[in-house]
Amino acid sequence: MFAYCADPNAIEGLSWLLCYLTTGKHLLLYGAVGTVVLLLAIAAPSALAFGFLGAVAARSSFLPFRWFGKIYTSMVRGVPDVIFFLFVPIALDQGFEWLRHRFKCPDWGQPVWQGNDFVVCTEAKLPLSSSPQWVHESYGFMLAALAFAVVFGAFAANVIYGAMQAVPRAQIETAEAYGMTPRQSFRRILVPQMWVYALPGLSNLWMILIKATPLLFLLGVRDIVYWARELGGLKTSAYEYPHPDWRLWYFLGLLVFYLIVTKLSEGVLARISARLSQGQATFAGEQQRRAGR
């Protein structure tokens, strides 16, 4: 990046370290931090949406919806996360390709599943082999984000369902007595109040989601764990910047990064909790009332 970095053998000390930390691969490492942040920005609201819909389905009076909500939360919670993180991208990928295959190649005369092989026409492949590399990487990241949303959505559904059950039934009955329909009482009474009960569980789920982002490495996405392992490994004199095995220091840097993210999250979640607890008949709300006296 700097002019004096043209010949790494001619520099040493802090100049060598500065040149080493600004190589192209290190810039990819720094960019991978943005990949993690983007995953959190996409997966968290998506998982919350999945969770809310799953909880509503589990409470539905319509039996098929209720079964779907119960099966969704029970199935995902009962299977190890890693298995779902590996299964969901493959299943989604083949599902998308199968739909495209049905639409783009209606005259295909061979079965899609040929033994253990999944074979679709060339036009149905996702992404196309002629697509640039960034398209392939974006598609893989999208599948990974969907996998995170599906898995953590099931946990969020269980938390939100319990929070809905925690809202006093008397308040719903009072709303109905004032003439509100079940839909109105759900939207105006149940949903606004259930968040204060759901927030502690959702906060823990957010922390778990942060800690789960290194699973991107297992899904083939070049995240910060991938680059930390690549850059920290032993580099011989065949490389521009030879160094011993520095993986300990790289992974120590990752540890500090995740601690900073979780610490910032704790502060934000504490503010949200304080805001939601205002005027509520909960322990946190009672503490606020006493502190205001």
Residue 48 is predicted with a pLDDT of 94
**Please, which residues bridge with residue 118 across strands?**
113
Q: How confident is the model at residue 280 (pLDDT cuts 50, 70, 90)?
A: low
The CATH number fitting domain 3-292, selected from 3.90.25.10, 3.40.50.720, 1.10.3720.10, 3.30.420.10: 1.10.3720.10
- For 225-263, write each residue's pLDDT tens digit: 888 888 888 888 777 888 889 899 999 999 999 999 999
Residue 290 is predicted with a pLDDT of 57
Q: Is 108 strand, coil or helix? A: coil
Q: Is 283's pLDDT higher than 70? A: no
Residue 49 is predicted with a pLDDT of 94
Residue 2 is predicted with a pLDDT of 66
Q: Which residue is listed with tokens 């943005």? A: 34
- For 108-130, write each residue's pLDDT tens digit: 878 888 777 888 888 888 887 77
Give me the percent of the chain exceeding a pLDDT of 70.
93
Residue 271 is predicted with a pLDDT of 86
Q: Which residue is listed with tokens 């004032």? A: 178
Q: Is 10's pLDDT higher than 80? A: no
Which one, of 227, 190, 186, 256, lies nearest residue 30 by Cα? 227
Q: Mean of the pLDDT values across residues 90-111?
A: 85
Which one, of 188, 141, 130, 185, lies nearest residue 39 by Cα? 141
Amino acid present at 11: I
- For 25-36, write each residue's pLDDT tens digit: 888 888 889 999
Give me the percent of the chain exceeding a pLDDT of 90.
20
Q: Is 289's pLDDT higher than 70? A: no
Residue 50 is predicted with a pLDDT of 94
Helix, strand, coil % (nearest 5) of the chain? 75, 0, 20
Residue 251 is predicted with a pLDDT of 92
Report which secondary-structure segment, H or E, holds 114. strand 113-114
- For 169-228, write each residue's pLDDT tens digit: 888 888 888 888 888 888 888 888 888 889 889 999 999 999 888 888 777 788 888 888
Rounded to the nearest angstrom, the gap between the alpha carbon of residue 256 and the centroid of all alpha carbons in its chain is 20
Q: Mean of the pLDDT values across residues 97-118?
A: 83
The CA distance from 110 to 269, in Å, is 54
Average pLDDT of the residues of the chain: 84
